[in-house]
Structures are given as C-alpha cells and as structure tokens.
Structure 1
Amino acid sequence: MAPPKQVTLGKYFGAKNPPLQPQQTKLSFATKSTPNPPVATADDAEASANEKPDPERQTDDEKPKKKRGRPREVKSEDESDEPVVKKARGRPRKVKSEDESDEPVVKRSRTKKVQIEEKEVEEELKEELEGEPSAKIGSASPKSTKQKAAVPKDSTAKRAKRAKSPVGSVSAKRVATLTDMNGDDVVEDDESTASASASESASDSEGGGLDEKPAIAAKARQKIQAQLKTKSVEHPYPDWEAGSPVPYAALCETFSLIEMTTKRLVITEHCSLFLRQVMRLTPDDLLPTVLLMINKLAPDYAGIELGIGESLIMKAIGETTGRSLQVIKADQKDIGDLGLVAAKSRSTQPTMIKPKALTIRGVHQGLMTIATVAGNGAQGRKVDSIKKLLSAADAHGNTKVDITKDKGGPSETKFLIRFLEGKLRLGLADRTVLVSLAHAIVCHEADQKGMIPSTAEMESGESILKTVYSELPSYNAIIPAALEHGITKLRENCKLRPGVPLKPMLAKPTKAITEVLDRFDGQTFTCEYKYDGERAQIHYVAKDAPQEMCHETPAAAESAADGVASIFSRNSEDLSKKYPDILAKLNTWVKDETKSFVLDCETVAWDMDEKKVLPFQQLMTRKKKNVKVEDVKVKVCVFAFDLLYLNGKPLVEQSLRERRELLHQSFSPVEGEFAFATCMDGQELDEIQIFLDESVKASCEGLMVKMLDGKESGYEPSKRSRNWLK
C-alpha cells in the first residue's frame, strides 16, 4: 500500500511524516504550549475521504466508526469534545457552541463576559414577568480549556473592570464595539434594527424606565428647534378648519411616514409635528389622538379590550367588500398582513354614496363601542360596528391602494384593521410618543407667546412629563391638566392618586452579599424577606375621605370595609375579582384613622394549619376572575413592604425609613391575613448571611436589600433601580 500523501500544512511548518491515518484537528488562533498536530487541507480531505484505511494496521481505538457509508476521522488528543461536521465539499467545519461568535478565540473571550451578563439580565426580566425561577445562563456554557488558555494574563484586570460596568452600555439596538488588548475592534452584531424597532412597545412594559439615551434625546430637541427656526414647516396633511374634529386621514398620513423609517429621531419628529398641529387647531382631540398613537383605547388598568378574533375581522372585511372568506384567507396567507388585505379588498369596491369622512374622535368612539358591547348577540353587533367604520374608510381619499408601494401608504382601512388586531406594525414605542407629546406641548406654549423654545426648556418639559407619567400613568388625567395649567405646573396638578396604579419599582439582581456591601458602602440599608408570591398594589379610599377613588369605568372599584378599594398587578391589571377575600377582610387590618392609601405588597399563598408560606404554584391554582369568597380554597396573606400614598398625600419622595414608619402606624397585623415584611437593618456580612439563611427556611426566595435613608431611598416608579438589590 502506498504511503499517504504528505500533508500540506505539516510540510509548511516542518513537521515529520504524518501518521498512517490522516487526522483532523481544529484550527485556532490561540497559542498553545505544545505544537499542533498536522492539519489536512480541503483538497487532501477530499482525497482522504475516498481512501479506505488498512484495518490491519490500526488498533481498535484508532478504527473510525462509519456513518452513512462515510469514514469518520479520529480526533486528536489536543482537540476538545466539540462535534465536527463536514460540508458538501468535504471541508471540515466545527459546530459552534451557543455563545461563541465568529471571531478568533482570543477576541471571543473578551466579549463573552458581556454577552453572558446581558443574557442574565434578560433572563431576570423574564423571570420577574412570569414569576417563576429560571436557570442562570452564565453557568449553562462553561468555558473550555482552550478558551481559558487563550486569554492573556494581563487581560484579566481589564475584563474584570468591564464586568463591573453596567450591562446597558452594550446597546440592544445597535452594534456594540469592544476593543481587545491589541487595539483591534471586536464587533458584536445584533439582530436587525428594524425588527428591534418593531418590538419597542413590548419592551417598554418592563422596568426599563422612560429614559432615552442622552445623545439621542439631545439630537431630537436640536432638530425640532432648528425646524422651528426656519419657520417653513410643511405638514404632511394640510390644515383642517380650526375647531373641527381632526381627520383620521391626518393620523394615517403620519403613521405612513413613521412606517417608512426605523430612525428614532425621524419618528419623534413626525409625531411631534402632528401633535403640534392637533394642539394648534383642535386641542380637544389631543387625548384620543395620543391614545390611538399608542394603540390603546384607555389606560391599562381600565381593562377595556376589543376582544375581537381574526375570524370576526375577516368576516367584517368580506361583508363590507363583497369578497368571499376563502379569497380573503388566501390573500392573508400570501400577503401576511390583514391590514393590507383589507386595503386591497377595499380598493376594488365601487362606492355609490360617499359616507362622512372618518375623524379621530369618531374612530375612538366607534372602537370603544366595539370594546364595551356585551350581552346576547354581542359578536354580531361588533361585526356591524366594524363594517360601519370600514365603509367610511378611504371614502374621501384615494380608494385605489397599491399595497406594493410604500407598504400600502396612508390607507385608513389598513390602520383600522391593524388597530383591531392590536398591532400597528410601526415600531412606535410608548416612550417615543411621551417625548413627542412633551416637545409638542412646550413648542405650542412658546408659539402662543411668539417665541421659540430652547433645548433646555424642551429637556425640562420631557423630565416633568416623564416624572408625572411615572406616578400617574394616565393620559386621561395628564392631557387635560397640561392643556389647562401648562406643562410647568403639571407636577402640582397631577400627582399619585388612588385608583390609578403606578408602575412598580424593581430591584437589580446580584449574585453575592459582598456585591451588596460594595454597592451600599457607607450607606444605611435594610434587608427584607423576598416572598414567593404575586406583586400587588392595594388602593383604598374610605367613604368619609375628602378625596375620591379615580377610576375609568363605574365598576372599576369594589366595596371594601367602609369605602372602595382596588387591587392591581405589577402590569396594572385589575385583580379585584381575583382576590375578593382580601377586600372582604380589609377592615380587620386597616386602622380607623387610615382614610386612604396605596400599598405595595406581595400576596402569598398561606397554610392556615401550619402557619407558613406555601409555594407560588399553589397561588397560581386560584381562579383569576369572578371568584367567590366562599369558594376560595387557597388562602392568601398580604405581606406589606411599602406605603406610597396615605390620607391624601403621596409618599414616593420620602425616605424608605419614613415610609416604613407610617406603614407600621397605619395598619395592624392579623395572623394569616396581613403582615409586615420581615426586615433587618444589620450592616455586617455575618448578620446578613444569617438573615438570608432564615429567609430560605421561611420558604422565601431570598432577600431584598434597600437603601434606607437619604434622597436615593425614595420610591422610583417604573424603574429597575440600583437602590434596591436582590
């Protein structure tokens, strides 16, 4: 048998004759203490794949296992256990692990730490939303020995320093560039910006706060100011008669412009320009305009939902346009956007009598009618209401819609259907609308005085509106107050009030007690049990209280004790129907002098016999709606840890120590029904460790560590703060 062909790379590096069986090894940019074995080229790999080794000259361990009739090459000792696959050309290709990138090992090890931390934070956010524990991603993919050997010793300090930096420094919507020890850039590619922008609204709901990057926010303000200075602003939709309802077509024109871009600055500019036009001509329509822009009919806590399935929407489209359901379904399958399907169907329908043009106020009222209809034949009446809106859509504009041009353009039909589906497909985030509204109000007030606002005034307006919205997340209350009093006096007229749930303050996750001590070094802090239950806000107003419960619907508040009360989830969902037993026993733990309050607490399943906390899974077995007190099998206990409002006064700006003292003064513990969160103000490592062990024994998830004194100990709504750690 002729000896095997000399390996090219082995010859280049001056290696000796190769072994009888050509071996494949992994190419790596990492340096090793021992030389690499010879590596076959692609041509040699193809040649060797067709050669059969002599079985008599091989040991049992060296004999390759056959798979699908092709020989499998033996792995060298230096290789890791990672699988190897071959392309069709025969070139060996290593299968990458989940957290590996395409860069060489040296550079990959520089970015891996940041990638893992980002995943850990994302997993933590998911865990908070679902209320279930999850595995840490950081431990799922341990580093291989090769990667450890590839990291130079002098890079350890730099990597540790980077690990301490905020994870937010690596943006989720841009390409993050990191620099390795040699000054080379290691680029960490992200998903496409367009897809990230399209899902902005969903990401707003989780503790990310309402803050934009300072540089982006500053550019947006400068751009709007420059636009005002030119005094040649052209609105995409011509001015309508002052005082008359805002045409729905004007909003659709703005939506179409937003749909054609993914740039945040451009989107903010379009939104602000349109809102200024609305405030100048028809300020009374500003509220329904903003609600339609954020794809809502009312605040989240109002519980108003359209409750329409795709089949009902298709039925309404078919009955309006005369097209069969089969044809509509086929178009939906081909196009993938029911809004474009409706626009296409509408453009082929002849119109004998033109109905009145749609207005923003009329569309909002029509959609509210669809959402609130109930009783026998409700589905049929919903379809009739949809047909009424679709018949008037695009009746006064260009009925011939080319769905292949500009994504269908400013079609009223398209955006009506998308609103009914609950997805506008614009990438228009709630926080962008909030910032645009602040700019519009500031610019409108300055314009009435014949002035141009400075960027500092716009920044101040943003800050005021964000602060107010975080405490009172209801445009129904904020917009009328802003129109009446102006944005500078908004904080005095819009404060936290019972009946309007604020987004809760969230804690940053930590891995060790030493990390907590480093964060609170030189500060006073407190430790609390982290209970395994459901986060809740209890709002209460006594009948003889000077203030009233604020609610969007007549049945929003339930009778409790000598007043009315509501219970809300962390996502502002009304839980009053889920926990009637809490409301029924409210009078047993609320003191007589407590006339109104907003309580931040945890509802926990409770074992009445053994007097202990039950697992979260037990709590989830309770019904969510229309629960009767006599049917409750899983008892709950309320563990209160913060007081946000008391007797007509918001407390969010007071220190945690002051809020906790008021909490203990205003309520009385009742075993198995109401209790204060177990806390400890010790500052030493040993004390905290003992308290942590006790919390685990008490069936808790761990500890919450909170700043106790000073301005930083104030309650920060809708923010995941470093002043709370867990």
Structure 2
Amino acid sequence: MPPKRAAAPSTPSKTKKAKPAQTSIASFFSPPGKPKAASLTADRAKREPSVVDLADSDDDVVQVTAVDLVQQVDSDEVLARKLAAEWAGDEVPANGKRKAVDEVAATEQKKPIAALFVRRETKLSLETKPKVEAKPNAEAGPSRPASISSARAEPVEPIDFDTDSLLFRPDEVDVSKWPGGRLPYSILVGAYVQVSRTRSRLLIVRVLTNFLHLLIARCPQDLLAALYLLSNHLRPAYVPFELGVGFMVLSKAIKEVSGLQPRDLKRLWEKHGDPGDVAFEAKSNLRTLVAPAPLSVRDVYDRVTGLAKLKGQQSGKLKGDVVRRLIVQARGEEVRFLVRTLIGNLRIGAVRLTLLTAFARAAALHEMSRDDFEGILPLPEKGKKSPDPVRERIEARCAAAVRLVRKVYVRHPNYDDLVKGIQPGLEGLEQRVPVSVGVPLSPMLGSITRSIDEVYARLGSLPFAAEAKLDGQRLQMHIRADGPQGDDDGGRWVEGEGGRVWVRLFSRHLEDMTEKYPDVCALALALLSRPLPSDRADFPSWSSSPTPTVRELLNTGNVTSLILDAEIVAVDKDTGQHRTFQELTNRAKKDVRLEDIKVVVEVYSFDLMLLNDVPLLSAPFSHRRHLLRTLIQPFADKSNPMLARFAHIANVDSLDMKSPADLRTFFDEVVEQKAEGLMVKLLESGEQATAEIIDIDAEDDEEEGEAEGEAIEVGRKKPLPATYEPDQRSMGWLKVKKGRWCVVSTVANLRLP
C-alpha cells in the first residue's frame, strides 16, 4: 500500500487589505462592551503624542450620518465629555498621557450636553442671524480655542455694507461680539460675497468703502491684513513670495476634511473647476462633533503667509496640515474664499484701482466730522437727483483723496507704508510715502500711433526726441551706496575695489530680477564708483529753466543713489551687435552665477527718476535726460567681455531734423539693427491742438424727418506732459512700431492753429 501523501500546507488566501471604515458619530456612543468603542480606544493609544484641539483636529473631525442626540444614555454623555476634555488638554508629557484631563472633564461635567454638540452652520448668509450670541474670550488666541463651548463656536453676524457711503456710520456698528476686538473673518467674507454678486463698479466701491471705513474707525490693527487679503496679494507685488500650495496639497486637504472618495471629489472638480467651489461643495454637508472657534482676519493672514516659510522635505506635509486645519475651522462661504486666497484668485472683480479708490474715500470720510454731513440728503432710489451742495462738497473732497492716494501708490506700491503714512491723515501723505530706492515705481507707458505722420499731427511743433525701441526686457535699476530706503530685505550688496553699493533690479511688471542678472548688479558698482566728469555742459538753452534743486544735482560732487529706467538687450560679446529677445530668455532666472553666464547683455538707459535721493518725476524729460547723460557715462569692461555693459539709447531730436523724412530715415536705421521701432517723447510739456467736428442743428422737421444744421470745426487743446507719469499710458510718449505703417487720410485734413 503506497504511503499516504502528506497534505500540502495550506496557504492563506490573498485578500485585499480592508480600508478602515470612516468613523461616524455613532461609534462614539456605542456601549462600552462593543468592539467599535474598543477599537477607538486602541486607535487612540497608537497615536503619536500630540496636542489635538479643534484648530488642528485632523483625525477627530467626523461626519454625521444618522444620530439622535436626545436618545443617548448617560454613559454616552460621559464618553463625549471625556473626549471634549481630551481635546482641550494643553500639555502632553513625555509618556504620552495628557495632563489635567480629569480636571477639565470635571469642569465640562457641569455644562449641558447641548453646549458640546452645537449644530454646524453650513452656509454664510447675509440675511441669516446666529441664534446664540457669542461672548468674546480675550484670553484665547486667534487660532486656538481656550475651551470647547458654544460661546466660542458661534460665528459673528455679517454686515450689509451696501449702503450710502456718506450716510454710513462706523460708530453705530456693534463690534462687541468681535473676539478680542479683532476683525472676524466672517465680516471680510461677507464683503467678498457682496462684491462678487455684482458687476457694478459703483456698488463694489461703495461696499469696499464702507468696509474699510469701519476698519479705520473701529479696528485699525487689522486694516493692513484686510487690504492684502482684498488685493489678492499677501505681500507687495514686487516682493518674491510663493505659498507653495499646489493642486495636490489642496486636493488632499479637501478629501481628508470632507471624507469624500476620490471618485466623488473628481466629479466635483469636473463640475465646478474652481478649487474654492469644490471645497465649498465638499464641506457643505459636513457636521462636526463640536463647532470650532471662528476664524479672525489676522489669524487667517498670519497662518496663510506662514506657509511660505515652510521649507524642506516635510514642507508638503506641514503645509497640508495647515491648510486642513484652516478648512476645518472655516464655515460656509469662508471655505470658498479661503481656498481662493490660497491659490491667489479671489474672483471678486475688485481690481487694484477700485481698491485704492475705496481706501482713499474711506480715509477721507474718516477725517470728516459729523458737522460736515449736516444737511446731506439721502440718495433717491430712482429718478432725478435733487441738488445737494453738501454731498457735492464731500464728493469733491473724496475725489481729491482718490487722486492723492493713487498718485502715492503708483510711486510707492507698498500697502505697509501706505497704511502707516495715512494714519496721521491725508495731508502730507506724499512726503511721508515718497519715491524710495528699493521700492519700484509703476513704469510709464507709451501710446500707440500708426504712422510718423500721426506723430507730427499729435505733437505739432513741440520739441521731441525719437529713441530706438529695442527688442529687450524693461529694467528698473535701483542703486544706493547706503542701502535701501525702508525695511525691505530684498536686493543685494555688491563689493569691489570701488567700495560697496546696494542694488535691486525690477521688470516692467515689478518682478524682482536681482538674482537673474548678477552681471548687471556688478555693473552698478562701476556706475557709482567712477569719478564724475569735470566739464559739464549746462541745460539746453531751448529747455525750460530748471529748479534750484535740479541745478544743484548737475553740480554734485558724487552720485550716491539713483533709479534708472532702461532696457536690457542681449548682445554679441565680440561685435556688440544686438541679439533677439528669445536669446535673452534663455538665461536662467534664479541663482545665476557670474561664471555661468553665456548670454552677454547691455543696459541701455533712457530715463532717470531719482538722483541722490531726490525724485525727478516732476522735472521735464529734457532735464532728466541731461542729468543722466552728463553724470552717468557709458561703461564697458574691456578686460572681461562677458560682463554687462552700459550705454545710452540712440536718439534723434526734432530740433535737429529738417523734415519728417529725417525721422523716417532714423526709423529705417534702428529697424535694421533689430529694433522694434521708435519711442517718441516730449522734451518739454505743452498742449496738443486737436480738431473736432460738431453739428449746430437748426429746428427739426419731425414730420418729414429732416434736420437742417451747420457743421463747424472747433479747436481744443489737451495738456501734453513731459514729466514722468508712473502707471500712465501718456500722450507725451508715442510708440511707432514696425509693421504698423499705414497712411491715415484724416491726418491730412487735420488743421492745426
């Protein structure tokens, strides 16, 4: 009989690892003998010792499925109170056991169970009022509740800012419910909601004016944070600042908070596309065990800007934790706009000029007393407005404030300095927030013309200079021997045989390019360290008389600071011929070293906005150009052809030309040298003579549908500035580009006086 074959050892069948079931609130109220409660306790024992509160309760935020709190037994209440006490623990010792849990539990035992399980508000509505008033707790920080109670968890009611700005009274707004007197995030989100629901610029300005007026009067400490959050920028535009929160971080945070499956989340992305809408929909049906503390504007701003400081291998996880905690605390519409803030796209239609207008109007209204509004009439809802001299007088003061604030901002685009400068009042703001080395100016731009004939038609006999418009990158060069003017930490110091200078470079869009062009930074030291020419020609006889300050600058002994407007162009290192703009873009943008440079550049300067800390924006172009070409001479280091070079841009003046044919000849020459065309600039301010055809109608014959009238030509004059106007497309700068040649028949019919 053959021996029996030994039985093969049984191999366990391969089964997929079961995903942990999503924790529901029912598991917290199961009897102690059931496995669910035991597994929950075991899971808590395995956790890494850490302090978990409502602000960072990533694992403890659960979804409500179907539970009736009224039918729970006493043991459930005890378990819930211990859980709440555990969340409120402040310290975790080395052995992993939380301190003072029993003491906190004893305190929480005295509170009713309804206070521990507040139903979460899912949507923020301007019409909905909270049923329970929140009593502020000044001792608790903005991001960490001191205890778990309904008083800390109730949001602050939004404010309707859509009211007449001249009748809005900030002192009548109740701010007693604002925790610690700080601006709740729900108030800012309420303004977001009102602005995003309309396309009317007047309504947007009205809402933002009232909102900012309230902050200036009642909560000035949060004004700066609110301005940055409204502007869609968390720092000045010229400061390199990246949150580093991408799609993966947001998607993971939304998934973990909402508990949605990947397929459900993908469906929301396909339906909405906007991350803010996706996060709002994903969290709309979420219920939390205990409502977290409401967010404040300062808390949101600090935590969001803190994301940019997280670096290293674990930065992605840390950023995800911060984003997750913010989404957990956000309520209703706050979720939508919080996520949009993280991606830098608020979608509220409030552009920079609109925000500046509202801020200026708010500052002007805040300076006025109650007596200034005495006798003002309310705006009629419909129909013709009645004459109101009080309103007209106030609107005139607001318009003057808008012009002032806009002027200051385009010369110094920094909300930190603007808010600080406006605190004493609008008077003297331009002196308190001046043009500064280290803070870029919004560049002046040229108006497009279609032909050289149109240039003469617009400028007439006024003196002008035609410069080559090179195919390069716009550069704003800030240099100062004593360092920047302000607290900004950008730029770099350049040291050499000639000493040391501080330099910072900006693009047309105010982006910091200092790290991209170390060769241009090295050039800055040579520009300031070289001796100035001894023989200096006076200002042109045909130009206007310079101010004493400008004349002193011409006779200065040394140059200590300057702001240049120039163009960076790629050139051949041997011949110096211009290369294309595409070759310039081949240079690296960050961490560029001098020894790694392969594309040589030349800096062609064409304007001077500041010299020795003296702004020159109000000086005519003839004076600015004379100072530039007299004191800042061309430079090239022949011993090292790879270093950047400095030159003045090629030009021809109208006073040296006999006819328009000379300008056409110069145009052909610069185009042949790979230039884009010409920039025509007024040397001295003047007026533009224009002609307009209007009809003087006689009596109309309504029956026959005819009208007898006379057409006449009326001459008008418009001012043409030769000053430097930041952020303006000035008629004093005309752009003539190749490929736009055309003959305008109407020019021949335009008669100038």
Q: TM-score, normalised by structure 1?
A: 0.63
SS at 2:368 equivalent: helix
Q: CA deviation at 1:336?
A: 3.1
Relative to structure 1, the CA distance from residue 679 to residue 363 in structure 2 (aligned partners, 3 Å threshold; closer, same or farther) is: same
Q: CA deviation at 1:612?
A: 1.6
Structure 2 residue 616 is the aligned partner of structure 1 residue 681: no
Structure 2 residue 443 is the aligned partner of structure 1 residue 468: no
Question: In the alignment, which residue of structure 1 is the partner of 2:231?
Answer: 294
Which residue type is aligned with residue 682 of structure 1?
Answer: S
SS at 1:496 equivalent: coil
Native 8 Å contact 2:162 2:203 kept in 1: no
Matched residues in 1 for 2:614 and 2:166: separation? 40
Matched residues in 1 for 2:462 and 2:180: separation? 56
Matched residues in 2 for 1:385 and 1:580: separation? 36
Which residue type is aligned with residue 412 of structure 2?
Answer: L
Question: In the alignment, which residue of structure 2 is the partner of 1:693?
Answer: 668
Question: In the alignment, which residue of structure 2 is the partner of 1:706?
Answer: 681
Question: In the alignment, which residue of structure 1 is the partner of 2:335?
Answer: 413
Which residue type is aligned with residue 494 of structure 2?
Answer: S
Native 8 Å contact 1:528 1:678 kept in 2: yes
Question: In the alignment, which residue of structure 2 is the partner of 1:259?
Answer: 196
> Which of 620, 634, 637 is residue 655 of structure 1 equivalent to?
620
Matched residues in 2 for 1:508 and 1:332: separation? 42
Question: In the alignment, which residue of structure 2 is the partner of 1:532?
Answer: 471
Which aligned pairs between 1:474-553 and structure 2 lie closer than 5 A? 474-483=414-423, 485-543=424-482, 548-550=484-486, 552=488
Question: In the alignment, which residue of structure 1 is the partner of 2:353?
Answer: 431
Cα deviation, 1:420-469, whole Å, max 9, x if unaligned, reads 12211212222111101011101111147765771110010001011111
Which aligned pairs between 1:4-153 and structure 2 lie closer than 5 A? none
SS at 1:709 equivalent: coil
Which residue type is aligned with residue 481 of structure 1?
Answer: G
Relative to structure 1, the CA distance from residue 479 to residue 576 in structure 2 (aligned partners, 3 Å threshold; closer, same or farther) is: same
Deviates more, 1:496-505 or 1:332-341: 332-341
Matched residues in 1 for 2:405 and 2:169: separation? 26
Question: In the alignment, which residue of structure 1 is the partner of 2:299?
Answer: 362
Which residue type is aligned with residue 539 of structure 1?
Answer: H
Native 8 Å contact 1:500 1:551 kept in 2: no
Native 8 Å contact 1:604 1:619 kept in 2: yes
Between the two proteins, the alignment pairs up a number of residues equal to 483
Q: CA deviation at 1:486?
A: 0.9
Q: Which ranges in structure 2 are unaligned for 5 or more consecutive residues?
A: 1-160, 375-392, 532-557, 637-643, 687-720, 736-753
Relative to structure 1, the CA distance from residue 234 to residue 224 in structure 2 (aligned partners, 3 Å threshold; closer, same or farther) is: same
Which residue type is aligned with residue 198 of structure 2?
Answer: T
Relative to structure 1, the CA distance from residue 656 to residue 354 in structure 2 (aligned partners, 3 Å threshold; closer, same or farther) is: same
Matched residues in 1 for 2:175 and 2:648: separation? 59
Cα deviation, 1:195-226, whole Å, max 9, x if unaligned, reads xxxxxxxxxxxxxxxxxxxxxxxxxxxx9995
Cα deviation, 1:307-344, whole Å, max 9, x if unaligned, reads 22222101111222333333222222123333233223
Cα deviation, 1:115-173, whole Å, max 9, x if unaligned, reads xxxxxxxxxxxxxxxxxxxxxxxxxxxxxxxxxxxxxxxxxxxxxxxxxxxxxxxxxxx
> Which of 464, 469, 494 is residue 559 of structure 1 equivalent to?
494
Question: In the alignment, which residue of structure 1 is the partner of 2:525?
Answer: 587
Question: In the alignment, which residue of structure 2 is the partner of 1:168?
Answer: none
Q: CA deviation at 1:582?
A: 0.9
SS at 2:603 equivalent: strand
SS at 1:302 equivalent: coil
Q: CA deviation at 1:634?
A: 0.6
SS at 2:289 equivalent: coil
Native 8 Å contact 1:242 1:281 kept in 2: no
Structure 2 residue 596 is the aligned partner of structure 1 residue 631: yes
Relative to structure 1, the CA distance from residue 668 to residue 263 in structure 2 (aligned partners, 3 Å threshold; closer, same or farther) is: same
> Which of 670, 679, 692 is residue 635 of structure 2 equivalent to?
670
Matched residues in 2 for 1:372 and 1:723: separation? 44
Q: Which ranges in structure 1 are unaligned for 5 or more consecutive residues?
A: 1-222, 395-400, 402-410
Relative to structure 1, the CA distance from residue 246 to residue 388 in structure 2 (aligned partners, 3 Å threshold; closer, same or farther) is: same
Question: In the alignment, which residue of structure 1 is the partner of 2:117?
Answer: none
Structure 2 residue 581 is the aligned partner of structure 1 residue 616: yes
Matched residues in 2 for 1:557 and 1:284: separation? 32
Which residue type is aligned with residue 420 of structure 1?
Answer: L
Relative to structure 1, the CA distance from residue 229 to residue 367 in structure 2 (aligned partners, 3 Å threshold; closer, same or farther) is: closer
Relative to structure 1, the CA distance from residue 714 to residue 324 in structure 2 (aligned partners, 3 Å threshold; closer, same or farther) is: same
Matched residues in 2 for 1:692 and 1:352: separation? 74
Native 8 Å contact 1:606 1:637 kept in 2: yes
Native 8 Å contact 1:551 1:557 kept in 2: no
Which residue type is aligned with residue 653 of structure 2?
Answer: D
Native 8 Å contact 1:549 1:564 kept in 2: no
Identity of aligned residues (%): 32
Which residue type is aligned with residue 418 of structure 1?
Answer: R
Matched residues in 2 for 1:555 and 1:699: separation? 34
Which residue type is aligned with residue 422 of structure 1?
Answer: G
SS at 1:487 equivalent: coil
Q: TM-score, normalised by structure 2?
A: 0.61
Matched residues in 2 for 1:472 and 1:560: separation? 28
Native 8 Å contact 1:242 1:282 kept in 2: no
SS at 2:563 equivalent: strand
SS at 1:348 equivalent: coil
Q: CA deviation at 1:227?
A: 4.7
Native 8 Å contact 2:444 2:726 kept in 1: yes
Cα deviation, 1:28-62, whole Å, max 9, x if unaligned, reads xxxxxxxxxxxxxxxxxxxxxxxxxxxxxxxxxxx
Matched residues in 2 for 1:605 and 1:497: separation? 29
Q: CA deviation at 1:348?
A: 2.7
Relative to structure 1, the CA distance from residue 666 to residue 362 in structure 2 (aligned partners, 3 Å threshold; closer, same or farther) is: farther
Q: CA deviation at 1:700?
A: 1.7
Relative to structure 1, the CA distance from residue 226 to residue 528 in structure 2 (aligned partners, 3 Å threshold; closer, same or farther) is: same
